[in-house]
Amino acid sequence: MPLLIAIALMALPFLEIWLMILVGQQIGAAWTIALLFALSAAGVLVLRSAGTKTFREANEAMRTGTPPQGGLLDTLMLMVGGVLLLTPGFLTAAFGAVMALPFTRPALRWAFTAWAERRIKRMRDAAEAEFVARGGRIPPQPGQEGGRAPGGGRVIRGRVVEEE
């Protein structure tokens, strides 16, 4: 998988240049350059609004003493979308627009959350398998017999010794 990502990243500039040539043949070189500048300007505006939103939420959280309520994933998608829009090219601009548009972010959030949950589960399973292979014992999970308190915390058997 990392090899495929590396190959895709090396091929991206060639694909972008090819797309620029195709668009330039259709609408002309001057309009192509103007469109690329407009997309870059849109990227700057998206980054500026994402930064302002993040700063505003952080400032409000510090003033009130509460944790920030805004979605960190939404802000991250806005910033990545802005950077992709800022990068010259039509393919990166398309991906950036998908990440920056407010009506596409919920679907991306859902897909990313599902991917992250699957990835975390695989990593946990691999870590537990390695732990067991080295002679460790994994306590029972919630819903299994024993090992967890009703509130979900772990039960530690022992006694309280008070010093005087």
Q: What is the DSSP string of the chain?
A: -HHHHHHHHHHHHHHHHHHHHHHHHHH-HHHHHHHHHHHHHHHHHHHHHHHHHHHHHHHHHHHHTS---S-HHHHHHHHHHHHHHHSSSHHHHHHHHHHHSTTTHHHHHHHHHHHHHHHHHHHHHHHHHHHHHTT--PPPPTTSSSSB-TTSPBP---------
d(CA 59, CA 17): 42
Q: What pLDDT, on the 0 to 100 scale, is given for residue 155?
A: 67
- Domain count within the chain: 1
Find the mean pLDDT for residues 132-152: 63
Burial annotation 40-77 (CB, 10 A radius, 16+ → b, else e): bebbeebbeebeeebeebeeeeeeeeeeeeeeeebbeb
Rg, C-alpha atoms of the chain: 25
Rounded mean pLDDT, 96-124: 88
When pLDDT is averaged across residues 102-123 and rounded to a whole number, the result is: 87
What pLDDT, on the 0 to 100 scale, is given for residue 76? 83
Tell me if 27 is assigned to some domain: yes
| Gap between the Cα atoms of 132 and 138, Å rounded | 7
Asked if residue 28 belongs to a domain, the reply is: yes
Structure tokens at 79: 């910033």
Q: If you average pLDDT over residues 78-100, what whole number do you get?
A: 92
CB proximity list for 99: less than 8 A, separation 6 or greater: 77, 78, 80, 81, 84, 105, 108
Q: Does 123 reside within a domain?
A: no
Mean pLDDT computed over 106-132: 86
**For the chain, what is the mean pLDDT?**
83
Residue scoring higher pLDDT (125 or 158): 125
Domain membership of residue 23 (yes or no) is yes
Residue 94, in any domain of the structure: yes
Asked, for residue 140, whether it belongs to a domain, the answer is no
Please indicate, yes or no, if residue 147 is contained in any of the structural domains.
no
From 83, 92, 95, select the one nearest 17 (Cα to Cα). Answer: 92
Range of the domain at 65: 2-102
Specify if 6 maps to a domain. yes
pLDDT band at 137 (very low <50, low <70, confident <90, very high): confident
Instruction: Convert the pLDDT of each residue in 35-69 to its tens digit.
Output: 999 999 999 999 998 888 777 777 777 777 766 66
pLDDT at 150 (0 to 100): 54
